[in-house]
Structures are given as C-alpha cells and as structure tokens.
A and B are shown apart, each in its own frame.
Chain A
C-alpha cells in the first residue's frame, strides 16, 4: 500500500515538474533590442493612492528620476537596460522589467512590525498608535505552512497565542487559546473576519456516541471554513483593554482576520497548488505473536492449543501497521483580483483534499470567496463579502479509551489475522474456553464511518456614508447560514464469527445567524492633537435546529433512512432546536497628543437572552495608555541605537457567556423536557415521559474576566531588531459552571445526569508574559536573513470554587477513573494520584510493606511483585489531612502528580533568501508540561490475558525474575493499576515544524512567459520531534477541546510528518 501511494506521489511530482518546464520554455518570447526607450509609469502605495517622490532608477546605472505629485514618471533609458528599480523610504523596493507600455508599480510598506496597520475592532490603527496588547501576523509569515486551517498555521507564530493540535485527524481538532485558560467552558476565541464576528464555537462530531463509541477530538473551529490563501493578515486582541469593545464575547481573545482585497490596478491572477504525503513515524513496541503466546501461556490457567509451542509461531499481525497508511494532501487555490478607480474586487476558489494516516479519515473542502468594495458616490461607499464553503470530513474514532482505533490496534491479539483466508475480516479469540468477540480495528475503520458534511454561507454587506471628511457612518448586515449533516454508520459485515448489524444514524442540522451593526467613526487631527471616536449599536440573533433518525438492518448496506428494518421499535427519531440573542451598545475614544501620549477608552453594554431578569445586562470597560518615549526630545541622542520605544498600560473587563455542555436553554431556567424516545411507562394518556432539565437560577450572570497588561515595544538599530514584551494578569471570576459537588448530590453535569443548577462560581487566574523578537540579521541586495523568536509563558491557578473542598475532575475509560483533579490553589486539569515507590520483591519487602487500602497480605491482595506506593499523608480524627505519613496507604496518599500546562512554549523562525532562493526553518516546542500516558496504563496493566501489552511486560516480576522492572500479572489486585505517577511522563518537546526551500523564477524570465511571479518549493512539516515522551506524539492537546482532560493520551491520533511540494504562480 505504501509503495503504491508513493509511486502515485512520484507521478504527481513528475507531472508538476513537466508542467513547469512547459510553462518556462514553451511560452518564452524574445525581447527585441532598440536604441533608447522612454519608460512611463505610475507608482501607487498599498492603498492605491499615488506615491509622489518615489525614486526610479535603471538597475546597475546612475540613471534615474523621481515621481511627480501624481505619482507619475517618465524616464529615458538605454536600449540595453533590462530592469528598473522603484524605491521609496519605508517601502519595499521593487524591480520591474523595462517595457514600452506604461508601467504600474505598487509598493508595499516595509514589513517592520511597527509600520503595519492593525485591526482593532470597528476600526484600524497603525501599530505605532496601539496602546493595547495585540499580536499580528501577515500572510507571508504563514505561506510556507501547508495546513488545513489558519488556526494550525498560527502555531508558534504569535506570542501569547497557544495552538495545539488535538488530533492528527484531517480537518480537525485544534485548541487555539489566547493567554492561558480563560474559562472552564469553551476557550475558543471570537473570530472576526473583516469586521464581522462569527461566534460559532468548535463543534464536535458526535456520530459515534450512538454507535456505542465515544466522541473523538474532531472539533472544527470556524476558522476551518476559510481558505488560508484568502488571508492577508491576522491580528489577535490579547488583553481586556483591547477586547472590551467586543464585551461579553471578547474574553477568550479576539482573532481579527483581514482578507485580501483587490489592490493592483492591473488585474492579477494567482494560483497556489501543492501536493504532499504524510506518515506516522512512530510505533509502540507491543508484543509480537511469539512474545504474546509466551506471555499468555504464563498467565492463563488453560493456555490455547495454538500457543503450545511459541517457537513455531510467526510474528503474527502487526495491528499498528494495519491501521496506519500513507496519507496525502492536495490543494489548489485560484484567485482573481484588481482594484482600479472606484472598484476593487477579490475573488477566489479553492479545493483542498486530505486523506489521513489512519484508515477511514479524510477531509475535503471547497471554498469560494468574493470581496467587493465600490465607491458609489463621493459620500457613499458600498461593499460586500460572500463566502460559500462545503466540507466533507470522515472521522476515524481515535483518542478514546477503550474504543479508539489506535487503542484497539495496540491491545488487539496478534493471533487474529486482519482478514481470513476467505477474505472476511478476522476476529474472535478463544481464551479459557470462551470466545471473545474483540474488535478488529481495521474492519471497524472500513465498515464504520462517521461523516460530517457542512455547507456554510457567510458574509456581509455594508454601506459607509461620509458625512464630513472626519465623520462616517457604517451600516452593516452580516449573516451565516449553515447546514451540517452527520451520518454515523456501521455496515453489515462479518468480523470473525460475528455478523454485525448494519446501522445508520443520520443527523441534519440547520442554523442561521444574523447581526445588524451601525456605528459612527470620527477622526480629527487638530494641531498636535488627534481624536478618534467610535460609537455604535449591534443586534445579533442565532438559531439552530436539528433532526436525527436511526435505522438498522439496511437493505444491501444502503446508507439511507429509507432502507432498513420496518419494525418501528428499532427506529429512532429525535429533534432539537435553540436560539440566542444579544443587543449591544459600544463606544470608544482615542486621543493622541504629539505622537507621544496616547489614551484609549472603550465601553460596551450587552444584554443577552442567556441571562435572567436579574442580570440581563453586562457592562465592559477598557482603558489603555501609551507613551512613545522615542518621540520625546530628550531621547534624540539615543535614537541611533534605540530607534523606537513605547510603553503601554492597559486595564479592562470583558465577559464570557459560553455555557457548559448540556446547559438548558435559556440556562437560568428550570424546564420540563421530553425524553427523545420511550422511557418508563412511555406515554401517559398522550403525555410523553419527561424530566426536569435544570434548576432555576434567576441571578445567573456573565463570567467576568479582568486583565491588567503592561507592555513595551522597542526597536534597535534602525528597526533591525524589534522586540515586544507584554506582562499580564488575567482574572476570571463568576465562572459559569454547573453547581456540581460530590456525586452523592444525585444531580450533576454528565450526559446522563439530572442537571445541577448553573451558577456563577469561583475564580481563576492566569499570569504570564509574551515576548517576541524579530531581527533582520542580514539585509543585502540579494541576501536576507530574518529571525523571529516568540516565547509565551503563563501560570494558571484555580483560585476558588464553591468552597474549599470543591473540585473539578476529569475521568476517562469508565466513570471512576479520575485522572485529573483540580482543587482551588492548583492549575486546571492537574493529574492526581498515588506516588509509585517500587515493587515488593522479597518476603522481607512484603513484611515491611505498609497496608494498602486495608488489604490483607495474601496472593489475591497485596503480594510479592505488587506495587508499593508512598505514604505521604494521613488523616486526623476529623478527616482532615495531617500532612504526615500515617503508616498506611490509602486515598489520603493521593496527591498532585503533574500539570499538563507547559512552563513555556516557543516558536523560532528563520527565513533566508539568497538571490532567487528562499529557505525557512521553523522550530516550535513546549517545555515542562506533563502527559498522562493512559495508553501505557492499559498496555502495562497486566490484568487481562487476552489483550496485548507492551514488550516491557516481558520483564515483569515473577518468582524467577524478582528484579523485573514491572509488577506482577494479577487479576485480583487492581491496586497495581491505580492512578499514579507511574504513567506521568515529561511532555516537553522541540519540533522541526517546518523546513522549506523555495525557488523564485527571475523576474525577466517570468516576464517572458507572461508571469508576474513563479515560485516552486519543497516543504517538510513536522520533520522531526525531540522528546522523551514514549507515546506516539507529545502534542496531545485537549480531549473534546475541553480543559479537564488536557495531555491525557488515550490512543491519540498522532500528527503525521508531511512532505509537500508546491507552486505559486501569479499573472
């Protein structure tokens, strides 16, 4: 299979090379020599304004001129001249081939961070006017990263923004977090595209729930709907003084995306395409058949007859090799744009196709985008943006104990063949006279599916009225229409002796969202004073509805609800709907004096349908100050060294209204809800059996987040070195949580619980700093080297919950396997358990061992070969922990055994260009986070003779191997596999995230073949990872994008290594 796919890849590469060859040589035209040429042209800046005073020179000569007031120039050049150079201070110089026709040149601002325009919400400012904490990244920093979504491309690129792939699954699973963990519920930032907010949170595919599996980590953020090639720049609002203008939706940070617009008066056609292959590079060292036979013979009462003589056996089935395959990625993206006179447009279409490295996982996406801006009257601008996106994702069930594909592949008996000699799926294993119907993970992947098809139409339309030069009013309407079809199915196939029943669960979801927005902007310079004012109103409404049906015994495995059994008791039919609305008023004022002192104040009021009559309105203020020291007179002497320095201070309060899963709608109410199917007595004279959903809490209110921020921006040596450092403290109070306590309350927050009331509970703090440094190491005409380093650190503490013994717990596998436990004073999602203290190896050890959980010392309880735990704590008569050992091992000895939160994360990017070659090397990593290797828990558990284990169990304790590294095999003393630090590993890693080599065709050759630009590149993603972690991949992320199971490896879908080759062409 691998060979086949590789040869397909080779063919593709050859095809691409051939195509480039044809393009380069087939279209070449001759340029005829002449005596002297008059070259005419116009130079524009990036906003399509003409640029007076730009320098025009003939390359390699002193012949030159400058543009006039209208940006026009005329220059007589010798016939031998091939290239002219157009330059302007603060802008990127451009080389243009000499032609007889008029030349249009668009210069863009030099990409020093300080001169960039930053989007701040309902407006923009220049970066040097910013007083809040904002991180920005532009298209050229992201262009080499060949990833599905923009969110993945941001990894390691923005200080204070952490991006973790929750899964290597195509098209899914990214945890994007701004400055630590803001909320117990969703931490998804608000996405604002060209000024339009999209509040859609990460959606998980849920289809497997109904098929008896669990959820995977397949959540898609709204960002997956955007073609990364459409993006011009991204700005992230990181602190509350910046976020406050988005009020109750801004607390998790705001990702402001600016898409491309038509700029060049010359029409531009741009194509970007690539192809890549992906592979999982690691395997876990589980036993082969011979090893497994020896192991099973040693631990079962009646060994299988097949295992009589293990030396006669082969290696058996390598289930990991069976489930992993070579994946591929294909992407094509085409755009047309132009901006001339009163109209500019940008239109694009893209196709993205990725197949994953586990059977049954793939993702396809089609996008089209259209941006139009037009000046209707000199006082009226109009514009629209329209997007249509269709995506098709097939999800492999991974990341789930005990039913994920990887989990099953590792524990599956190597005796079972993938397929039997007659072509049917292998399955079933007999141990001690009982035939177990163990899953065949390959058969599962091939016969079980979970497909999500989404269609999204979104966009907006605006009219902007210019009353005065300084005063504008913008009226906007924006919308999202979405459909989401999720089918989960099991085909009727035979696996070993079992006949699996065919089942289809088909779920259809419709949703729409609209927002009306009216706001005024006033900008005025009076002498040394600058005043900017914004005021507006916004109304938003969101609605969704769902219908779901289930059928079994599908005729001929037809995946349609019309097929299948007509026995109605086997059918299921469910519905659901909900809505949400919000009304807001906002104002902002900016004042700058003499480019030295800046003040920004904003205020927003939101009313949400989520909150009850007592607290419907929430108020969110923000204030920030900036002092540009370099613009002070006294600073002049130092300016040669320190070219720019600004100090910023910000303070603000923002809100969050994300609710925990399963909250009633509206969440402050007590509802009587109907079960989706028959329960109890079924129907009571027409009244369907129902239940109480929620307990009323009319005081329910917003989650409040208060951030203080202090920052400094500096640049040295004429902007050769730029540095930004921000220090912050972010406090989340009144968190929206189910008021759950011990399970004896009888109400809770699980899917099958009667829901506890939702309250505003507790407090959490994140403190940290974000640092980014960019240096231009070498700036020469044909050799450039830029380095940028970002470094983010935060420390999270849960300060309080309802009371001092309240806690948040995260469990896996079955309820009761609590892996994480967070009580006030500790970081969220902390691992909690016993401390491993070696193995009882001798009778003397056993005699000296402390009693564990009250067990007697006998073979069925504590015995030779069992694990010893450390006695670190005891309880007094009042049940309070004493902090001193008490001579016995019990739950009092459980303690914090590691935090999944890294001490810091970093990204390190080097970009070199030499003549027409460019090279970039991007390293990314995380230090100090711990991983709970729950796979290892299972694979070294040694209490089940029919499941495969790691080869490390061959060195377990036995009477003959008393120095074994692992405890004994036992089915009676579950003590050995209690949650302990035996499975906690260091999750630090440094990854060569991307290495790219590109080649750009020289301008004159490109020109000959009618191209403005042509670049080919070869790129490796996730090339190598330096780590001590023993599992597949140290980048685990969060289960279901939550915060209570972070870095818990349950058979995680690893991130593959991807080798990509691609081409960018511009006409």
Chain B
C-alpha cells in the first residue's frame, strides 16, 4: 500500500468513527410496556389499570395474614395451630414490634394505600398532559375508594399512623420522617376519601366495580365507628333504598362462600376480584390453603389449616343456626360432591361416597382430629375439579372475597338506629336486623340490644376479618371482658389469656421505627399541620 493510500484510508476510518452511530442509537424505549404519555386515552385503558386495585395483587398480604390473624385470631373466632410460635402470638397477645407477622400486616395495608395513591397520581399527571377528565375522574374516584377502605383498616388496626398521599414524591424527595397522625385524623381521612369517591363514582357499573352506593355502604360503617349514628343511619338507608343490593336466599348462603359461580352476587357490595390463576402470584384467592382441613389436601389443591375455628366460637352458636355448616366443618359434616383421593387405599375407600368430616376415623385414613375438632368452611371451595369440586390451581381458587356485604349494611343500620341506647324496638331497626337473622333460620326478635347485634355480627361475618374491630370499638373494658372470657385453647387444654390496654392496637414494627424515628413520638394532627 502506498503512503497516499494509507492516508486516504486513515481519513475513511476517521469518518467511519465519526458517524458510526446514529443519533438515536442510545435512545431506547421499552419493548414490553407502554407509557402514560401514549396511554390512558380511553376509558377501557384507564379501567385496565384500576382493575389491578380490585385484584388480589395489592391485597395479597392482607388476605393471606392480616385478615385472619387480626380479624379472627385476635378476636377469638380462630385458633392458629399450637406448633408455630409465629402465629400463636396472635392467639395469646404476645405480638410485639419485633414480631415478623406484625410487620407483614403493616406492610399489607400500606401496600394497597401506596398502589391506590400512585395510580391516582398517574391519572392526575395524565390530566395535566391533556388527558380527558371525563374518563380519568371516575378512575380517580375508584382510587379514593381504595384509599378510604385502606386507611379505615390502618386507623382501626394501628391507631395513630402515617398518611401517604403521593408515594413517588415522598420517595424521590427522600424525607421519610413522617409523623404518626391521630387515629381520629386517620378515620377522618378515610371518610374524606370515601366521600370524594362517592361524589366521583358512577351510579351503576359492571358487576364488581364500585359505585356511589358501595361508597355509601363504607361511609355508613365509618360513621358508625365514629358513633355518628345519624349519618351512619342515613348512609345505610340510602344503600337499602337504592334497591341495588339484597340478601341472597338461605339456600345460597353457603355457596356464596364456596363457589365462584356466586362471584359478584346481589349481596356483594365490594369484593376482591379473584382470577383462577397462579400467575401473577396473588391474583388467585389463597384463603383455601390456610383454612381447608388437611384431609382435603389433594394433588390439585393444597390445604394446611393454619387457621381453625376456636372452641369459643364453636360454643357461641345458637341451636339450629343454618349458617353453621356454611361457616365451619365439624364431626358429621359432609359434602357428597367432593370425592378427594390420596395415595392411601383406606382413605379412598372412606371418601368414596363423598367427603366426610370425621374425628373418629384414624387421621392417616381420612379422619380429621385437630386441636379444636373443626375447620373453617368459608372460602374453602373444595379439593379441585378432578375430585368433584370446582377447579383449583394449587393454592389458588377463583372465588372473590367479599369485603362488604349487604348483610353488613342491614346490621349497621340497626345499630345506628340503636344509637348507643340500651335496646331498641324500632320497626326499621328490627326489620333490618331480623332479615339477617331469619335468613339463618332463627326466630325474629322483638327488641334488640347492642349485644344482640354484636352476636349476630359475629356469627354472620365470622372468618371475614371483621369481629376484632367489633370487639375493639366497644372500648377497652368491654374488649377485656370479652377476650378474657374466651376459651382460646384446645380440646382438653383450655386456655384463657389476659388482655391489657396496649393489646388494643398492634405495635408499629421495629424496622419502621428505625427508618422513621418520628413514629415513636406522640401523634400529631394531620389537619392542622
């Protein structure tokens, strides 16, 4: 190569170096996702995002632990097995700031709040980018509905606690030293969010989507907890008069809890919408595995009875309550359609004509003889399609979980009319109360007290995560009386616990206190900042 050629070559190479990359070589967009800029242009696009808030995904922690451990184990409805200290803490009130499951529950509630608030901020951002308010505002109202529900739980469970309106902004700003706000302010915030939701939600929507009426049902409950009986009664009456909801008939009471065919039934006001799937993890209902009896475990469905009815709860039934077999399984309980099989021939012979709950049969031959001789029946849909039940995917069922039922509104209404008095014979109150009661096959009452309502609530909503709050809202003295009278033990080994004032609320997890020392200080007002 001649020198001249070499020099030409150098210039060619330099030219190649200079222009070898196109300007946009390092400009890349996601290959799998879209972005706020070019999405959220139709109502369906927006509702495809709010759909996540109804899914089990943000609610997974609440559903798998908070619901049972707090709502039913602490209240004495459920027993959690003796062999595991992590869960026993909620039976004997030995939870502390260092108990892992306390942290788990805390995280679960705030996760729903964080997701709802982040989605809400994204929709607000889209509005500033020229998004259509007509399609975005109802979605914003749905987010507020979820925030209302979440903070209602947070205030009741932990008392004073932080409020996070815009998680992304807080995260980027880096100031996590957020104080605890008064419990009253948390409940006020929940009511505010729910009121905004009521204003922004449509009158009616497709089954399962929340509406103005659903918001009113929650408002009624929130007002009731604030002992604002007038507003509670008014909101409950709006729901009753709307004609949009009703009780399912007696014969459907059990199927409401063990068949996905009853998803979004007439009684269901707000429900977590579950899909029969294991992917994404949490999109399916995973209550069955924690509740179902271990002798119903099959190759298709997992059951390990982490939670069971307590002895105290079993003793609380009135005779001939038709809800009993829908609520718990005990000696003699059968489900002829379910024909579970295992590798054991004796077991298979025992179950050949359908599932039998039997505490006399040997436990490795199909018997079931746990510490309280019973299991929870609600949200147990069975051993799977191959064994005569509906389809189950390992830990997952496709059954919705009802967070708010019409029966609740009826009992809220009755209690709001009672309005803290000793008893009432108000016709409207009695009608609402007796509708729930007579559906269960029990005799109507002519006069009711708070204890009557509380008993009815306990039996009606057992294992739906509500009874703890019913006990707690009656104040420490009453709560102590109720809890300390409960037999929280096992057959042959009764257990009574002591209940102290600091058991009224769960402690704030230690790891949170480390990251936000403000949480250890006295609470402050959210509204007079």
Majority SS at the chain A contact face = loop
Q: A740 → chain B, closest Cβ, in Å?
A: 7
Q: Is B134 positioned at the interface, with any CB of A under 8 Å from its CB?
A: no
Interface hub of A436, A681, A809 (most chain B Cβ within 10 A): A681
B30 touches A687 (CB 8 A): no
B33 touches A671 (CB 8 A): yes
Binds A, one of B90-98, B222-230, B236-244, B326-334: B90-98
Q: Is B421 positioned at the interface, with any CB of A under 8 Å from its CB?
A: no
Q: Within the complex, which residue of B1, B45, B97, B359 is in contact with A379, where a contact is CB–CB below 8 Å?
A: B1
Q: Is A285 positioned at the interface, with any CB of B under 8 Å from its CB?
A: no
Q: Which residues of A contact B515 (CB under 8 A)?
A: 741-742, 805-807
Question: With the chains together, A879 CA to B512 CA distance in Å?
Answer: 12
Q: Within the complex, which residue of A379, A492, A743, A818 is in contact with B110, where a contact is CB–CB below 8 Å?
A: A743
Binds B, one of A365-373, A493-501, A909-917: A493-501
Q: Which of B80-130 contact A (CB under 8 A)?
A: 81-86, 88-89, 91-92, 94, 96-104, 106-107, 110-115, 117-119, 122
B30 touches A665 (CB 8 A): yes
- Known interface pairs A803-B176, A945-B83. Does A746 touch B110 (Cβ–Cβ under 8 Å)? yes
Q: Is A578 positioned at the interface, with any CB of B under 8 Å from its CB?
A: yes
Residue of B nearest to A573 (CB): B279
B118 touches A692 (CB 8 A): yes
Question: With the chains together, A685 CA to B51 CA distance in Å?
Answer: 12
Q: B210 → chain A, closest Cβ, in Å?
A: 12
Binds A, one of B293-301, B317-325, B436-444, B445-453: B293-301
Q: Is A616 positioned at the interface, with any CB of B under 8 Å from its CB?
A: yes
Residue of B nearest to A543 (CB): B31
Q: Which residues of A contact B47 (CB under 8 A)?
A: 681, 684, 687
Question: With the chains together, A970 CA to B88 CA distance in Å?
Answer: 10
Q: Within the complex, which residue of A581, A695, A815, A875 is in contact with B104, where a contact is CB–CB below 8 Å?
A: A815
Q: Within the complex, which residue of B33, B107, B369, B394 is in contact with A433, where a contact is CB–CB below 8 Å?
A: B369
A695 touches B172 (CB 8 A): yes
Residue of A nearest to B371 (CB): A432
A747 touches B167 (CB 8 A): yes
Q: Which residues of B contact A894 (CB under 8 A)?
A: 98, 510, 514
Q: Is A861 positioned at the interface, with any CB of B under 8 Å from its CB?
A: yes
A802 touches B176 (CB 8 A): yes
B32 touches A806 (CB 8 A): no
Residue of A nearest to B82 (CB): A971
Q: A625 → chain B, closest Cβ, in Å?
A: 30
Residue of B nearest to A503 (CB): B394
Q: B93 → chain A, closest Cβ, in Å?
A: 8
Q: Which residues of B contact A670 (CB under 8 A)?
A: 35-36, 122
Q: Is B53 positioned at the interface, with any CB of A under 8 Å from its CB?
A: yes
Q: Is A673 positioned at the interface, with any CB of B under 8 Å from its CB?
A: yes
B208 touches A494 (CB 8 A): no
Q: Which residues of B contact A212 (CB under 8 A)?
A: 394
Q: Is B423 positioned at the interface, with any CB of A under 8 Å from its CB?
A: no
Q: B177 → chain A, closest Cβ, in Å?
A: 7
Q: Which of A613-664 contact B (CB under 8 A)?
A: 616, 664
Q: Which of B389-443 contact A (CB under 8 A)?
A: 391, 393-394, 398
Residue of A nearest to B150 (CB): A746
A891 touches B97 (CB 8 A): yes
Bits for B168-197, please: 1 = Cβ < 8 Å to A, else 0.
Answer: 101110111110000000000000000000
Q: Is B472 positioned at the interface, with any CB of A under 8 Å from its CB?
A: no
B17 touches A537 (CB 8 A): yes
Residue of B nearest to A943 (CB): B85
Interface hub of B16, B44, B49 (most chain A Cβ within 10 A): B49
Residue of B nearest to A211 (CB): B394
Q: Is B261 positioned at the interface, with any CB of A under 8 Å from its CB?
A: no
Q: Which residues of A contact B9 (CB under 8 A)?
A: 465, 467
B54 touches A680 (CB 8 A): yes
Q: A924 → chain B, closest Cβ, in Å?
A: 36
A669 touches B30 (CB 8 A): yes
Q: A685 → chain B, closest Cβ, in Å?
A: 5
Q: B207 → chain A, closest Cβ, in Å?
A: 9
Q: Within the complex, which residue of A301, A697, A745, A858 is in contact with B490, where a contact is CB–CB below 8 Å?
A: A301
Binds A, one of B20-28, B68-76, B474-482: B20-28
Q: Which of A474-528 contact B (CB under 8 A)?
A: 475, 492, 494, 496-501, 516, 518
B520 touches A875 (CB 8 A): yes
Q: Is B454 positioned at the interface, with any CB of A under 8 Å from its CB?
A: no
Q: A488 → chain B, closest Cβ, in Å?
A: 13
A569 touches B391 (CB 8 A): yes
Q: Within the complex, which residue of A302, A674, A754, A807 is in contact with B118, where a contact is CB–CB below 8 Å?
A: A754
Q: A509 → chain B, closest Cβ, in Å?
A: 14
Q: Within the complex, which residue of B31, B363, B502 is in contact with A434, where a contact is CB–CB below 8 Å?
A: B363
Q: Within the complex, which residue of A580, A676, A807 is in contact with B514, where a contact is CB–CB below 8 Å?
A: A807
Binds B, one of A250-258, A721-729, A849-857: A849-857
B33 touches A673 (CB 8 A): yes
Q: Is B521 positioned at the interface, with any CB of A under 8 Å from its CB?
A: yes
Bits for A671-699, please: 1 = Cβ < 8 Å to B, else 0.
Answer: 11111111111111111111111010100
Question: With the chains together, A757 CA to B371 CA distance in Å?
Answer: 48
B164 touches A816 (CB 8 A): no
B85 touches A805 (CB 8 A): no
Interface hub of A424, A492, A497, A878 (most chain B Cβ within 10 A): A497
A745 touches B114 (CB 8 A): yes
Question: With the chains together, A550 CA to B393 CA distance in Å?
Answer: 12
Q: Within the complex, which residue of B279, B347, B391 is in contact with A676, where a contact is CB–CB below 8 Å?
A: B279
Q: Which of B483-505 contact A (CB under 8 A)?
A: 490, 492-493, 495, 497-498, 500, 502
Q: Is A539 positioned at the interface, with any CB of B under 8 Å from its CB?
A: yes
Q: B380 → chain A, closest Cβ, in Å?
A: 16
Binds B, one of A972-980, A992-1000, A1049-1057: A972-980
Q: Within the complex, which residue of B51, B297, B299 is in contact with A689, where a contact is CB–CB below 8 Å?
A: B51
A973 touches B85 (CB 8 A): yes
A572 touches B279 (CB 8 A): yes
Q: Within the complex, which residue of A499, A666, A686, A974 is in contact with B29, where a contact is CB–CB below 8 Å?
A: A666
Q: Which residues of A contact B176 (CB under 8 A)?
A: 741-742, 745, 802-803, 805-806
Q: Is A944 positioned at the interface, with any CB of B under 8 Å from its CB?
A: yes
Bits for A738-757, please: 1 = Cβ < 8 Å to B, else 0.
Answer: 01111111110000111011
Q: Is B343 positioned at the interface, with any CB of A under 8 Å from its CB?
A: yes
Question: With the chains together, A671 CA to B500 CA distance in Å?
Answer: 48
Interface hub of B81, B85, B117, B385 (most chain A Cβ within 10 A): B85
Question: With the chains together, A743 CA to B34 CA distance in Å?
Answer: 27
B positions within 8 Å CB-CB of A: 1, 6, 9-10, 13, 16-17, 20-21, 25-36, 39-40, 44-45, 47-49, 51-58, 60, 81-86, 88-89, 91-92, 94, 96-104, 106-107, 110-115, 117-119, 122, 161-162, 164, 167-168, 170-172, 174-178, 206, 208-209, 273, 275-283, 294-295, 297-300, 304-305, 341-344, 347, 359, 363-364, 368-371, 385, 391, 393-394, 398, 490, 492-493, 495, 497-498, 500, 502, 507, 509-522
Instruction: Name 17 interchain pairs, CB-CB below 8 A, sorted by A.
Output: A302-B492, A498-B299, A498-B342, A578-B30, A579-B28, A666-B28, A672-B35, A675-B55, A677-B279, A680-B53, A747-B167, A754-B118, A805-B176, A805-B514, A806-B174, A881-B517, A945-B83
The 9 A-B pairs at the shortest CB distance, nearest first, are namely A746-B114, A816-B100, A879-B520, A943-B85, A891-B510, A853-B96, A680-B55, A433-B369, A802-B174
Known contacts A434-B305, A682-B275, then 20 further A-B pairs from the complex at CB < 8 Å, ordered by chain A residue: A301-B490, A570-B391, A674-B32, A678-B283, A680-B52, A680-B283, A689-B52, A689-B55, A739-B172, A744-B161, A744-B178, A745-B176, A746-B117, A756-B171, A815-B107, A821-B514, A860-B92, A879-B513, A974-B88, A975-B96
A positions within 8 Å CB-CB of B: 210, 212, 301-302, 377, 379, 424, 428, 430-437, 465, 467-468, 473, 475, 492, 494, 496-501, 516, 518, 536-537, 539, 541, 550, 552, 567, 569-570, 572, 574-583, 607-609, 616, 664-666, 669-693, 695, 697, 739-747, 752-754, 756-757, 759, 761, 802-803, 805-807, 809, 813-818, 821, 823, 834, 852-856, 858, 860-861, 875, 877-881, 890-891, 894, 941, 943-946, 970-975, 977-979
